[in-house]
Amino acid sequence: MIDVPAGTFLMGTDDRRFPADGEGPVRPVTTGAYSIAATPVTNDEFAAFIDATGTVTLAEREGWSFVFGGLLPDEFPPTRGVVGAEWWRVVEGADWRHPAGPQSDVTEIGDHPVVHVNWTEAGAYAAWAGGRLPTEAEWERAARGGLEQATYPWGDELTPDGEHRGNIWQGVFPTENTLDDGYLGTSPVDAFPPNAWGLHDVAGNVWEWTADHFEGRDGHRVMRGGSYLCHESYCNRYRVGARSSNTFDTSTGNIGFRVAGS
């Protein structure tokens, strides 16, 4: 856990590419002192929670979840896609233990972020671990790492000196990923350098649930950070001030979370 002292920062952006997201206006926001995990919760950590509590996730109970089609093997049976976002497939047998469908498992990726966990389940894990989900303001302040109004957690250049600092999509979305950063799906939570305050993965890899409701969207909760599917042409939301939302009961292969504490 990283300790963050009380303080004020400039939250949001004036970027207007996604007006419905409500990124702006830029405004001063004050938070009290809090702590926040250096990384998203991993598969190994979530497994410990499952073993201790006997929790069965909604994806496990319902027998399916949303998986990015590019992660499915060529011989995978036909699946139903999401209208308007056909790269998302409804895959039976997908859950946190089987993140890319029933043919996959987390045995070799214990240090990757857990996915297929909805907002309620994320909150239950956080409480079990003695914490809570961070507020949106706490998440953004920590993700900025003291850099006032920088585009990314490390500055204004996406790949300084040609170095990738996060797990996002390179190439042409959704048909070609050049894998310049080394990953098609999730990556280990510490695969890329941390920001100045020691937080990893606050740009890309997986979206992260926060505690807050998304204003104007009933049942939606705020997500921050973008994911391995974000690309400049489609979902340029790995910017540190960007935001999105999903319904509280949604689980997908690119949403995770991290824990905060008082």
Contact 162, 206 (CB under 8 A): no
What integer pLDDT is reported at residue 16 of this predicted model?
A: 87
Structural domain containing residue 229: 2-261
What integer pLDDT is reported at residue 91 of this predicted model?
A: 98
Number of domains in the chain: 1
The pairs formed by 94-99 with CB atoms below 8 angstroms and a separation of 24 or more are 94/59, 94/64, 94/65, 94/66, 94/67, 94/253, 95/57, 95/59, 95/60, 95/65, 95/251, 96/43, 96/46, 96/57, 96/59, 96/60, 97/60, 99/67, 99/185, 99/186, 99/253
The residues that bridge with 88 in the sheet, in sequence order, are 68
**For every one of its 262 residues, what pLDDT tens digit does the chain have, with 9 covering 90 and above?**
999 999 999 999 998 889 999 999 999 999 999 999 999 999 999 999 999 999 999 999 999 999 999 999 999 999 999 999 999 999 999 999 999 999 999 999 999 999 999 999 999 999 999 999 999 999 999 999 999 999 999 999 999 999 999 999 999 999 999 999 999 999 999 999 999 999 999 999 999 999 999 999 999 999 999 999 999 998 999 999 999 999 999 999 999 999 999 8
Rounded to 10°, the helix 43-53/119-128 angle is 80
Contact 209, 255 (CB under 8 A): yes
What integer pLDDT is reported at residue 221 of this predicted model?
A: 98
Cβ contacts of 16 within 8 Å, gap of 6 or more? 24
What integer pLDDT is reported at residue 137 of this predicted model?
A: 98
Task: Show the CA angle centred on residue 40, arms to residues 173 and 91, nearest 5°.
Answer: 50
Q: What CATH number does residue 25 fall under?
A: 3.90.1580.10
What integer pLDDT is reported at residue 128 of this predicted model?
A: 98
Kindly report the pTM of this predicted structure. Answer: 0.96
The residues that bridge with 7 in the sheet, in sequence order, are 31
CA–CA gap between residue 159 and residue 60 (Å, rounded): 38
